[in-house]
Structure 1
């Protein structure tokens, strides 16, 4: 059995909210789309399997396009487990695009809680607009808590504004994800009284399912050959019209269905530490250098919250790390800081200063564009 798939423009979050309500109730499946951005190479189907309630298109920051198919059961299971982990249902401020799973999550949790999200207008994120939305947020006896979800660059902008920071400090939890949150930014938020919860997840897991390194609800984690695997009721059905990729990404293991994240990770005492993408490793002078760890160290330096570390070909070393940033920084300081932790081979070969680090609408760095800025040779 099938049901129709309806595409809705994500520039109208309330229309997406109504479409999602209908989809969760058994109506047409929903495909939120970003207007003004390149479409995926293949057209979306007119119909999808009956179990599919939501389709999320994602090209990622480095990979090829895919359509992630999610059921009502997966979306609502993720919402219920997240509410339990946060302390109960509440009202949400929506500050993320609704064609990404993190924005959809805000809508799903609002629907499940019976609350109406206060919407920050789509487009360029503005701290004043966020504070205004926080003022409009209404909660009730059945869902008295206040929540929002941000990416690190949004959190930084809020913390630069006194009124918005005061509003954010009044929330019961502020989920921050989409990419690793720099330690100085997190500490700055905590010092301002903001209750930060760092999140990890993907469209394939109905969004964030690991909070502050701890899987919530019945989510399970394993590291197999260095790769993080996730299992639980929030997993996607797979990828629309791509059985090969679905079979490679969703695997059976120990009688459970697992999602292969493609991320390198460690798990100690039940706490997950993500190290970066498995395929985001350069071989420099014969040594493996994980660019995610280099980037994390660079972002610890003052003013480098949004710096990105990418690769550049080198005739001498093979490949080398390169820092792309919009804030000037001394190369020797970067090399010393990184080298002290990761060793000589991990030290960046250059700092490329740009007016603005390219970003996707999700708030993540556009890594393909960043790599182009780094240049072809050292």
Structure 2
């Protein structure tokens, strides 16, 4: 059996909320879209068990349409309540076409609380604190990416009204990318109750809190890759059986999601993520393919041998860094020129943070660049907090 798949303009979070209300009750499935445009290849109908289709880019930049059931979404909401302080009221500060944004709406519907919705567009600390101050439930939550948390902490100086409002949250979920240790320490010193989350659209959003799988989620590592299982897993990638087969595997009757992340799971089940197995980073909440950035950079005269690696950043989580040998070019192109070209092709989040000039690029025995060594060098010279 099938039912309609309805595209909803995510620029209206209230419309997404109402569409999800219907979907969780067995109504039409929802596809929140960033621009409201409906692509010609989007199916008009999906299987009855599908409630939400989240569209996101993969490591190659090719779109993925993650199909989630109402059961998976509600299992994620129940697990969050169990791991946190119970049912509460939320501030929606994330786009409604991100799984973390739809999670806020699903959890609000599951607990029958009215979320406070921020205006769509540039994140404003003033708008955030105004919305947070309107919360009237005894238990209060929000979900942010690290850049937003930095903005909020900047505004919440000790003794201010913003500081009081921030401390009133029972939990501030922070995910979407690696959260710098310095930012977590700063939040702790401020009295903000930050919970680091890990998950993806394929797991109905965050399903590991501060390294601990929540609800019935379990984690394991196979051949160095972190895998997750539990009732929050997506059904499949819509219209992409090959990618579905590669990402979801069944072993001994249990279905696992292969995250694409390298990680470790200790004897107590605690999860540590050590990095991506591919070349994708998340900068300011947006996925960036280092391979795409590198191809643009290598198109500049004299930079055919340049290498683009990741580096931690106190505000954006991770950023691209261009590594080049000192003798690669007599006069390397200016960083502004590189940034402009990369932004035109891959978007603002992909702009290189800086140039890392070394005497000679370290090489592997095969003659290929030693990206691990370059990544280490980039991390050692990482950008300070702005």
How does the TM-score come out when normalised to structure 1? 0.77
1:346 lines up with 2:373 in the alignment: no
Equivalent position of 1:77 in the other structure: 75
Change over 3 Å in CA distance of 1:315–1:119 after alignment to 2? same
1:308 lines up with 2:324 in the alignment: no
Return the alpha-carbon distance in structure 2 between the equivalents of residues 188 and 278 of structure 1.
Answer: 29
Change over 3 Å in CA distance of 1:255–1:91 after alignment to 2? same
1:19 lines up with 2:22 in the alignment: no
Q: CA deviation at 1:36?
A: 7.4
Change over 3 Å in CA distance of 1:34–1:325 after alignment to 2? closer
Change over 3 Å in CA distance of 1:151–1:304 after alignment to 2? closer
Equivalent position of 1:229 in the other structure: 227
| Mapping of residues 1-378 of structure 1, within 5 Å | 1-35=1-35, 43-60=41-58, 63-139=61-137, 144-162=138-156, 163-269=161-267, 270-280=269-279, 295-296=311-312, 299=313, 306=317, 308-310=319-321, 346-348=376-378
Q: CA deviation at 1:273?
A: 1.0
Q: CA deviation at 1:309?
A: 3.7
**What are the superposed Cα offsets for residues 168-209 of structure 1, whole Å, 9 maximum, x if unpaired?**
211000000000110011111110000000000000000000
SS in 1 for 2:208: strand
Contact in 1 for aligned 2:59/2:278 (Cα 8 Å): no
**What are the superposed Cα offsets for residues 256-308 of structure 1, whole Å, 9 maximum, x if unpaired?**
000010011111232211111102399xxxxxx9966xx34xx3xxx665551
SS in 2 for 1:188: helix
Q: CA deviation at 1:226?
A: 0.5
Return the alpha-carbon distance in structure 2 between the equivalents of residues 9 and 100 of structure 1.
Answer: 12
Equivalent position of 1:363 in the other structure: none
**What are the superposed Cα offsets for residues 338-357 of structure 1, whole Å, 9 maximum, x if unpaired?**
xxxx868721399899xx9x
RMSD over aligned CA atoms reads: 3.3
**What are the superposed Cα offsets for residues 68-119 of structure 1, whole Å, 9 maximum, x if unpaired?**
0000000001100111000210000000000010000000000011100011
SS in 1 for 2:151: helix
Return the alpha-carbon distance in structure 1 between the equivalents of residues 255 and 202 of structure 2.
Answer: 12
How does the TM-score come out when normalised to structure 2? 0.75
Return the alpha-carbon distance in structure 2 between the equivalents of residues 237 and 24 of structure 1.
Answer: 15
Q: CA deviation at 1:18?
A: 0.3
Contact in 1 for aligned 2:177/2:317 (Cα 8 Å): no
Return the alpha-carbon distance in structure 2 between the equivalents of residues 207 and 349 of structure 1.
Answer: 28
Q: Which runs of 5+ in 2 are unaligned?
A: 281-289, 291-306, 329-338, 340-349, 359-371
Return the alpha-carbon distance in structure 2 between the equivalents of residues 218 and 227 of structure 1.
Answer: 20
SS in 2 for 1:178: coil
Contact in 2 for aligned 1:185/1:305 (Cα 8 Å): no
Return the alpha-carbon distance in structure 1 between the equivalents of residues 382 and 221 of structure 2.
Answer: 35
**What are the superposed Cα offsets for residues 194-253 of structure 1, whole Å, 9 maximum, x if unpaired?**
000000000000000000011011101010011000000000001111111111111001
Contact in 1 for aligned 2:308/2:320 (Cα 8 Å): no
